Structure 1
Amino acid sequence: MSPHSAPEPSIQDQYSDEKTYKYGSSAYYAYLFLAQDTQKDIKLLHAFFHEISNVLYISTESSVARLKLSWWKNEIEQLFHGKPEHPISQALVATIKKYDLKKQYFDYIVESVEMDLSHNRYLDWTSLKNFCTMQSGAFACLITQVLAPTNEQNIRFAQKLGVAIHFTHLLRGLGQDATQGRIYIPMDFLREHQIKAADILNAKYSDEFRVFMQAQGNYARQLFKEALPYLAPESRQALRPCLIKANLCLKLLKALEKDQWRVLDKGISLSPVSKLLTASKVWLSQGRYFGM
């Protein structure tokens, strides 16, 4: 190797690069303007998150998935005692120390997947909100700890924003989840609009379904509005990546509306150009742009 060539990436770096967010994804554009060192730390957190959340999808047997999650619970204990075994955990040691990341948020993410193994339906918003808070809310708290000072207001903002983002993604992924027998929209929301679970599982469209989905889209927007008051003015600039994610979700909701909520048999995504323009607007406005 020449003295000016880049060092070979470690096994841990290679593993995390495979597992983290991909080029062109919403996450990619959310963190695009950050310093390289900060991006690397966030990529590690995404790699951990994907490693845990994917247990639900790559393990066909519930018992196998539970064994994997049990192993990860122990691995998190080992990680915070400085004795991790997994490549991602080993890479996270320095990041956890640098930002004083809290163990409880790693635990919550594992527990949320355990919860998902026990439910393919959520009876009401309270139970679904609890799941979203433990998974995406906890993950958003970890990201926020990297980007901004850890205080109660920033954590509350992260939790609420994580729920809003997660619910938006659940709306977009309704059809894909249904192919696995899962419906994440609360059952009482369905009953309120006289929508049958079988209609979603069988990808059956109707005028009633579109009215129902529009109501869910409006509710998602309300969740974003509820998060914003917790964003402290002094943290707005530091938390621009979180605001980029929020703006991309709001833009996605508009795209879903325009497509008449055809989420049961097709996937809707924003174009890379659209993502880049939105991310640039948020970044250059110092986080003041919010496309409600």
Structure 2
Amino acid sequence: MTSVASSLPHSGVPADASPAPGAPHAGSPALADAYAECERIARASSSSFTLAFRLLSHERRQALAALYAYCRIVDDAADESRDPAAALAWWRAELARLREGTPTHPVAVALADAVRRFAVPTQYLTEILTGVEIDLTPRTYETFADLRGYCYHVAAAVGLAALPIFGCRDLRSRAYAEALGIALQLTNILRDVAEDAERGRIYLPREDLRRFGYRERDLHTHVRNDAWRALVAFEVGRTRGFYRAARSSIAARDRRALVAAEGMRLVYQRLLARIAADPDAVFGPRVRVPVSEKALCALAAWVRTRGGAR
């Protein structure tokens, strides 16, 4: 997972973690600084997300940056801290302070403001943290049903939290967010399969490995063979099914609100297509979509969400 410089020291807890007397009010320098930190984290982490952010209004872009920064920083707390369990326990306590209106970390300060302004259900923030905690213990997934539960926490819950920030009003958009979140996470799993294996994390379901005769130790040693390519083709097909499900779940009255999410869908579908075309590439440098193609995806999303095309 990508490491991002942040205000967290290696322990995962801010140097000044004492409770604040109250949340900064809108327009205050402290709140502006908190949002600026979130935007910095987003810019440093993902050009895909920052391009998608540009399709939103300033206020929605700020709020989405706060949500993204939260996801990024708790993920990094799990991967980069000396004591990941303690770091995530601190963030669980910080979520409680966020609900009470007394957050202390800059990212939580901005996120608290976004939650208040856009009525973001905080249960999804907790579910995201639970997903990160799952990764503290190296494990494998026996079935796709097992993996899907993990994907819900680390990806679908993010999309569900983002819906009110996007301005979605139709309850059917929940199905869109869940399907797209799972599709994005499955794409990430294929892209990062070698890196994750080195960390002791194998996300590809064991039932799939057995089906195609590809062993876990083959993954660790980067075996490139017909079994591997058949396995990837199967996983790509499943993932494309979730992208189709997301696309077919778009409610007409939320189409424009989902412009940023649709931009991400188009970018990640291109990423998946690159993996499908060359399954062995995931054992080399990280497979990426060029910035120029990402920009085209953003433009296509803007046009499609206004013209009704899918």
User: TM-score, normalising length from structure 1?
Assistant: 0.90
Pick one of 220, 223, 227 that aligns with 2:246. Answer: 227
> Do structure 1's residue 167 and structure 2's residue 189 form an aligned pair?
no
- The alpha-carbon distance between structure 1 residues 118 and 289, as it changes in their structure 2 partners (threshold 3 A), is farther
* Deviations, residues 270-292 of structure 1 (Å, cap 9, x unaligned): 111111111101211226454xx
CA distance in 2, matches of 1:266, 1:37: 36
What's the counterpart of residue 265 of structure 1? 284
1:205-284 aligned within 5 A: 205-284=224-303
Summarize the Cα distance change of 1:22–1:150 in structure 2 as closer, same or farther, 3 Å threshold.
farther
Instruction: Report sequence identity in percent.
Output: 22
Change in 2 beyond 3 A, CA 1:9/1:83:
closer
Match of 1:48 among 46, 55, 70: 70
Question: Following the alignment from structure 1 to structure 2, what is the Cα–Cα distance between the partners of residues 251 and 187?
Answer: 26
**1:33 to 2:55 alignment:** yes
The alignment partner of 2:71 has SS state of: helix
Q: Which runs of 5+ in 1 are unaligned?
A: 1-6
Kept in 1, the 8 Å contact 2:169–2:254? The answer is: no
Shift of 1:37: 2.0
The question of 1:129 aligning with 2:148 is answered yes
Q: Which whole-Å CA distance do the structure 1 matches of 2:46 and 2:292 have between them?
A: 9
For the residue of structure 1 that corresponds to 2:286, the secondary structure is coil
CA distance in 2, matches of 1:76, 1:150: 25
| Deviation of the 1:207 alpha carbon | 1.6
CA distance in 2, matches of 1:59, 1:151: 40
Residue 34 of structure 2 is aligned to residue 12 of structure 1: yes
CA displacement at 1:24 relative to structure 2: 6.5
Bigger shift: residues 28-37 or 38-47: 28-37
SS in 1 for 2:256: coil
Aligned-partner residue type, residue 221 of structure 1: R
Equivalent residue of 1:54, what SS? helix
Separation of aligned partners in 2, 1:41 and 1:200: 39
Contact kept in structure 2, 1:282 and 1:289, CA below 8 Å: no
1:68 offset after TM fit, Å?
Answer: 1.3
Q: Is the CA contact 1:24–1:272 (under 8 Å) kept in the aligned structure 2?
A: no
Q: Residues 180-216 of structure 1: CA distance to partner in whole angstroms, max 9, x if unpaired?
A: 1211111111111111000111111112111111111
- Deviation digits for residues 163-196 of structure 1 (CA, Å, limit 9, x no counterpart): 1111111111111112212111111111111110
Q: Quick check: 1:190 aligned with 2:212?
A: no
Give 1:91 shift: 1.6
Q: Secondary structure at the match of 2:282?
A: coil
Contact 2:275 2:287 survives alignment (8 Å) = yes
Residue from 126, 130, 136 that aligns with 1:111? 130
- Would you say how many aligned residue pairs link Structure 1 and Structure 2? 281
TM-fit CA distance, 1:93: 2.2
CA distance in 1, matches of 2:91, 2:33: 19
SS at match of 1:285: helix
Amino acid of the structure 1 residue aligned with 2:297 = T
Pair 23,167 (structure 1): closer, same or farther in 2 beyond 3 Å: closer
Q: Secondary structure at the match of 2:214?
A: coil
Tell me the C-alpha RMSD between the 2 structures. Answer: 2.0
Runs of 4+ in 1 over 6 A off after TM superposition: none
- Residues 116-135 of structure 1 show CA distances to partners (whole Å, capped at 9, x for unaligned) of 21343111111111011011
User: 1:9 Cα deviation (Å)?
Assistant: 8.6
Query: Helix, strand or coil for the counterpart of 1:182?
Result: coil
- Using structure 2 for the length normalisation, give the TM-score: 0.85
Deviation at 1:59, TM superposition (A): 2.6
